[in-house]
Amino acid sequence: MPDTAIIPGSAQARVRVRYRIRSSAADIDAIALAVAVEQSVEVPLDVVRDPWVREHIVGRVEDITPAGAGYYAVDISLAADSMLGADGVPSVAQTFNMLFGNSSMHDMVELQDVGLPDGFAQHFGGPRFGIDGIRELLGVDTVTASARALTCAALKPQGLPVAELARLCRTFARSGIDVIKDDHGLADQHYAPFAERVRACQRAVAEAERETGRRVLYAPNLIGAPHLLAAHAGLLRDEGVGAALVAPMLVGLPAFHELVGDHLDIPVLAHPAFCGSARIDRTLLLGRLYRMLGADAVIYPHYMGRFAWSEALCGEIAQAALAPWAGIRRALPVPAGGMTVERVPELLHFYGSDVMLLIGGSLLQAGDSLAARTRAFVQAANAARH
Amino acid sequence: MPDTAIIPGSAQARVRVRYRIRSSAADIDAIALAVAVEQSVEVPLDVVRDPWVREHIVGRVEDITPAGAGYYAVDISLAADSMLGADGVPSVAQTFNMLFGNSSMHDMVELQDVGLPDGFAQHFGGPRFGIDGIRELLGVDTVTASARALTCAALKPQGLPVAELARLCRTFARSGIDVIKDDHGLADQHYAPFAERVRACQRAVAEAERETGRRVLYAPNLIGAPHLLAAHAGLLRDEGVGAALVAPMLVGLPAFHELVGDHLDIPVLAHPAFCGSARIDRTLLLGRLYRMLGADAVIYPHYMGRFAWSEALCGEIAQAALAPWAGIRRALPVPAGGMTVERVPELLHFYGSDVMLLIGGSLLQAGDSLAARTRAFVQAANAARH
């Protein structure tokens, strides 16, 4: 949905929200109005006596379009002011409240798309590195035709001791992987406590960097309540760690945005865990909203892997992450979820080189041949230049 | 689901998770195993060479039971250790990660119930006041047969200036309402900035308390990123505000838990906004998990109001909030969402007196007769003693 071209903070600035609503033709007008009221003043309209509130704050039904049997696309506009603080700055929590707070409790309503006024997404800031910044940190050419896809591997399974995870990390780093991420299941468990794991894995990466002269980014998983996230981010700074993995829906979207803005100065990979819990269009949530809130790279399950997401959806998420938008940086698409080395040519054909390929468990299946298998992955990813 | 009776921190302690899975009879065994693996080690099982990891960390399929046409209830047990920090304390974010992180991305899987080992819920703490503590703060008799239902009203619609909201607040407080909450749409917008609103409304409540000799709790809406939540909680303390309203899913569950534990010493009303976004059983999420994380009162839409939640579901949520559980306090059920004074007898018949009735927009429809209408609400709620 194109963003609306109105400056927020003026009484006229509107956020346009598209809901996918299951309804009969007879009921859709009444349901659309009910959603517009629910998402704004949340009282019967006869209660709204104040003329300024009636004109500016009450949600407006802007458009109702049939969208397949039994469904409608309903566009409602809301006052941008209702999502801003008194200082004119939009609030993450309040924005989601206005977009899908109470209406999330209607089973027939799904949040499908959002059109924001000029300056709205920019306030949140978006990625600080994005695809170009990550390539630059890695010393990967971004200007000439030799730009290549990036590679990513994962430290797993959870339950392994720190020494074992660090050994995997060293193997990946020596074998040419660009970004090595924790499994998102790694938190601060006693079998691999956070501080000990981060120090050991970063040391392994730094040693490999000295040996090979190649830059490698290690992305530990940050998970927990806000004060713990801030403390763990500080540990990453102290240890010179190059990236971070965070699941925005698990830590909470406002806490994610605050963590990125206030506590991290390295690229942030957004993990999709818990995202499927949200009845929100996945292209919107992962491709646009995670990017808006500061994700430099967005991980999502590629089709024909362990999750039944369609090829079309995966392509749309990548396009949304990369499309020019509101002056914020492009995020790096990271298809994953059961990928294999054999599928690398197909993945590169589908995505081109603006991508980071992530292979997790399938590399580990090589067992003692892990290094060779990892090198094969890197070679396959580098072979097909676009 | 009954909690499992094993102490966490030992390698044997298991969390039992029930998923509702849509599947054919031919596929359900394979799907159950895939979910058990996805929610634990997240690699093909042949990769798990470490015998300790195989025995303790890999999820176990404990039971598969048909649950209506095309559905199965699948019980999987996970290592409690995988949700604890190295200090043995469970993490909110990591617990939800293990319960429903990646599997939330499977459309055919829904999180239905959780059985926790002894000591697990207690670690999170639960309500600090609960239904009894709220009644005690209000000076409502809890011992004799005169225990009564509580009443709640809401300041709305958003868009009104502070003076108008404070006027509503004064009317409600003078008319016998026990708890006056902000509309959950009130954040820090320029038309009613947080600090100014809280001061004016609390002043109105304090004046009414002096006039009537009755205690009234005002519950402003706390919404925003973690640092703002902490700052706003501090303002509540400074102003002597008696309660707070928070939507756990909007601020994020880990931030909600930290806010309650570290920054608030007043009863917390949990608002359901954004909860419907989660494909999580609503009795589990609102009745048990919000309570576990510290909600003293739980607001939810009652049936035959603006939301199509069934009578049975509403009864189950109230029962879950009130049932003895793991030594944590009982939370106060707050049915809402389009209730009217006329329905008070029916609501009290359904819930008994362990309830707080919340009427929002319908009271405001009385316009200039707001005070009389509010008194009628209070009288109706007090009339039917149980």
When mean pLDDT is compared across A100-109, B32-41, B150-159, B329-338, the lowest value belongs to A100-109
Answer yes or no: is pLDDT of B5 > 60. Answer: no
| B349 Cα to chain A: minimum distance (Å) | 25
State phi, psi for A160 to the nearest 5 degrees: -70, 150
Q: Which of A102, A224, A278 sits opposite B94 (nearest CB)?
A: A224
Which CATH code for domain A14-124?
3.30.70.150
- What is the per-residue pLDDT for A6? 47
According to the model, what pLDDT value does residue A15 have?
93
The answer, yes or no, to whether residue A79 has pLDDT greater than 90, is yes
| CA of B185 vs chain A CAs: smallest distance (Å) | 7
What pLDDT, on the 0 to 100 scale, is given for residue A112? Answer: 86
Q: Which residues in chain B touch residue A104, judged by CB atoms under 8 angstroms apart?
A: 273-277
Asked whether the beta carbons of residue B91 and residue A306 sit closer than 8 angstroms, the reply is: no
Report pLDDT for B328: 81
pLDDT tens, B258-274?
A: 999 999 999 998 888 87
Q: Considering CB atoms only, which of B50, B52, B105 is closest to A275?
A: B105
Residue B384 has pLDDT above 60, yes or no: no
A chain contacts of residue B274, beta-carbon cutoff 8 Å? 96-97, 100-101, 104
Residues A57-86 have a mean pLDDT of 94
- Quick one: average pLDDT of B155-183? 92
Q: Is pLDDT of A231 > 90? A: yes
Domain with CATH 3.30.70.150 in chain A: 14-124
| Burial B349-368, CB ≥16 within 10 A → b, else e | ebbebbbbbbbbbbbbebee
What percent of chain A has pLDDT above 90? Answer: 49
Residue B6: left if φ>0, alpha if ψ -120 to 50, beta else—which one?
beta
Selected for mutation to probe chain A from B250, B284, B362, B364 (highest A CB count within 10 Å) is B250
Between chains, do B100 and A188 touch, taking CB under 8 Å as contact? Answer: no
Looking at residues A2-26, what average pLDDT do you find?
Answer: 78
Q: How far is A38 from chain B (nearest CA, A)?
A: 9
Give the pair of three-digit tokens for residue A301: 């399950």
Q: How far is CA A112 from CA A18, A279, A283, in A?
A: 5, 9, 9
Mean pLDDT of A155-170: 91
A84 contacts in B (CB within 8 Å)?
A: 189-190
SS3 state of residue A95: helix
Q: Output the CA–CA distances (angstroms, integers) from residue A379 to A109, A342, B153, in the order listed.
A: 46, 12, 65
* Domain B14-123 class in CATH: alpha beta
pLDDT band with cut points at 50, 70 and 90 for residue A85: confident
* CATH 3.30.70.150 boundaries in chain B: 14-123
* Band (A360; pLDDT cuts 50, 70, 90): confident
CB contact (8 A) between residue B93 and residue A273: no
pLDDT confidence bin for A64, thresholds 50/70/90: very high
Least confident of A312-326, B166-180, B270-284, B311-325: B270-284
Average pLDDT score over chain A: 88
Distance CA B265, CA B179 (A): 16
The pLDDT of residue A124: 84
Chain B residue closest in CA terms to A50: B160
**What mean pLDDT do residues A137-142 have?**
82
Give me the mean pLDDT over the B275-288 stretch: 76
A320-334, B48-62, B179-193, B279-293, range with the lowest pLDDT: B279-293
d(CA B101, CA A185): 9
**B62 by DSSP, 3-state: which?**
strand
Q: Given this model, what pLDDT does residue B44 score? A: 84
Instruction: Give pLDDT tens digits for A207-218.
Output: 999 999 999 999
At residue A386, the pLDDT reads 45
pLDDT of residue B6: 47
Mean pLDDT throughout B356-383?
A: 88
Disruptive mutation site among A228, A250, A282 for chain B (greatest number of B CBs within 10 Å) = A250
User: How do residues B8-50 score in pLDDT, each as one tens digit?
Assistant: 556 678 999 999 899 999 999 999 999 999 899 888 888 888 9
Class of domain B130-383: alpha beta
Q: At A93, is the secondary structure helix, strand, or coil?
A: helix
pLDDT of residue A174: 92
ipTM: 0.80
Q: pTM higher than 0.95, yes or no?
A: no
Least CB-CB distance to B189: which of A86, A105, A301?
A86
> What is the edge-to-edge ordering of all strands in the sheet holding B244-246?
B221-222, B244-246, B268-270, B297-301, B332-336
From chain B, pick out residues whose CB is under 8 angstroms from the CB of A107: 276, 308
Chain A positions in Cβ-Cβ contact with residue B155 (cut-off 8 Å): none
| Of B210, B213, B264, B261, residue with least CA distance to B234 | B264
The helix/strand/coil state of B92 is helix
Task: Tell me which chain A residues have a C-beta less than 8 angstroms from the C-beta of B247.
Answer: 93, 97, 101
Residue A272 has its nearest CB partner, among B47, B105, B189, at B105
Facing B224 at nearest CB: one of A91, A102, A187:
A91
C-alpha span between A57 and B180 (Å, rounded): 22
Q: CA angle at residue B104 from A195 to B88, to 5 degrees? A: 30
pLDDT of residue B54: 92
Contact B96 A301 (CB under 8 A): no
- What are residue A1's DSSP bridge partners? none
**pLDDT given at position A93:** 87
pLDDT greater than 70 at residue A130: yes
| pLDDT score recorded for residue B102 | 82
Q: How confident is the model at residue B255 (pLDDT cuts 50, 70, 90)?
A: very high
Task: Kindly determine whether residue B306 and residue A258, on different chains, have CB atoms separated by under 8 Å.
Answer: no
Mutate to test the interface with B, among A184, A227, A249 (most CBs of B within 10 A): A249
CA separation for the pair A60, A56 (Å, rounded): 9
Establish how many alpha carbons lie within 13 A of residue B375's alpha carbon, considering only the half-sphere containing its beta carbon: 6
Q: Which of A82, A190, A276 is closest, CB to CB, to B86? A: A190
Q: Taking residues A276-290, report their average pLDDT.
A: 77
Q: Which of A50, A93, A273 sits opposite B223 (nearest CB)?
A: A93
**pLDDT tens digit string along A187-203?**
998 889 999 999 999 99
Interface A–B counts its CB contacts (< 8 A) at 321
B254–A224: do the CB atoms touch at under 8 Å? yes
| CATH 3.20.20.110 residue window(s) in chain A | 130-383
